[in-house]
Chain A
Amino acid sequence: EAGVAQSPRYKIIEKRQSVAFWCNPISGHATLYWYQQILGQGPKLLIQFQNNGVVDDSQLPKDRFSAERLKGVDSTLKIQPAKLEDSAVYLCASSAPGQGNNEQFFGPGTRLTVL
């Protein structure tokens, strides 16, 4: 079974530039998550999709971050414009349909450095 795919693996940009990350979840997984993991901290949920609908985006900085999952499969996360404090690893995860009790499968992450 193929895992969660993410690209790119690494990205370096200057502040005020824009950047986009892509995620392809495990086939059949209806729930998709984007996390931000700052060095030395646990992952922080940015947004959760159920199919192509948003379940929770309460911690997404909506003035600069956006995410979409148009066809209920792949997803993109965008930052525009980036700030220095956005330097982090961005993790995508997916889980099978259920009642919130299914484990999440994580991709390798995208390490973003904002200079």
Chain B
Amino acid sequence: AQSVAQPEDQVNVAEGNPLTVKCTYSVSGNPYLFWYVQYPNRGLQFLLKYITGDNLVKGSYGFEAEFNKSQTSFHLKKPSALVSDSALYFCAVRDGRYSSASKIIFGSGTRLSIRP
């Protein structure tokens, strides 16, 4: 069975500092990995994804994530945090073996708070 874990409920970072939001996963086949962000009273927005290829993927708003197969991780990173990055972040995984028929599983979310 596939699963995804976000070990930190909340991450606090000072503006201008680098940030990392952690995600680990478990799937039987090759993972399709996604990060989404949710701002207050709004739906989820796609940030980036890893399907295949380079382990470092770049996405919206200056975010990037590194796929690490040996550690089964897909941590979200940004070199310099902005106050506007404060939001709820979700990691999601899908088993790539079953294409569109496989279910996508979302993590429980990490609240990112950037202080000025």
B-to-A contact residues, CB < 8 Å: 32, 34, 36, 41-46, 49, 51, 90, 92, 94, 96, 98-109
Query: When chains A and B are docked, how far (Å) is the Cα of A1 from the Cα of B80?
Result: 31
A36 shortest CB reach to chain B, Å: 11
Which residues of chain B are within 8 angstroms of A4 by Cβ–Cβ distance? Answer: 43
A101 lies within 8 A of B44 (CB): no
A residues near B, CB below 8 A?
4, 31, 33, 40-45, 48, 50, 55-56, 58, 91, 93, 98-101, 103-109
Which 10 A-B pairs give the minimum distances between C-beta atoms?
A42-B106, A106-B43, A103-B46, A99-B99, A100-B100, A106-B44, A101-B51, A100-B99, A108-B43, A43-B106
Q: Could you tell me if A44 and B100 are in contact, using CB atoms closer than 8 angstroms?
A: no
Chain A residues with CB below 8 A from B107, complex form: 42
Q: List chain B residues, Cβ under 8 A from A106.
A: 36, 43-45
Q: A55-B100, A55-B101, A56-B101 are in contact. Are A100 and B32 (CB under 8 A)?
A: yes
Which chain B residues border A50 with CB–CB below 8 Å? 100
> Cα distance A33–B34 when bound, in Å?
16
Docked Cα-Cα span, A45 to B36, in Å, equals 15
Contact B102 A101 (CB under 8 A): no
Are A101 and B96 in contact, with the CB atoms below 8 A?
Answer: yes
* Contact B90 A100, beta carbon cutoff 8 Å: no
Rounded to whole angstroms, the CA-CA distance of A82 and B39 in the bound complex is 28
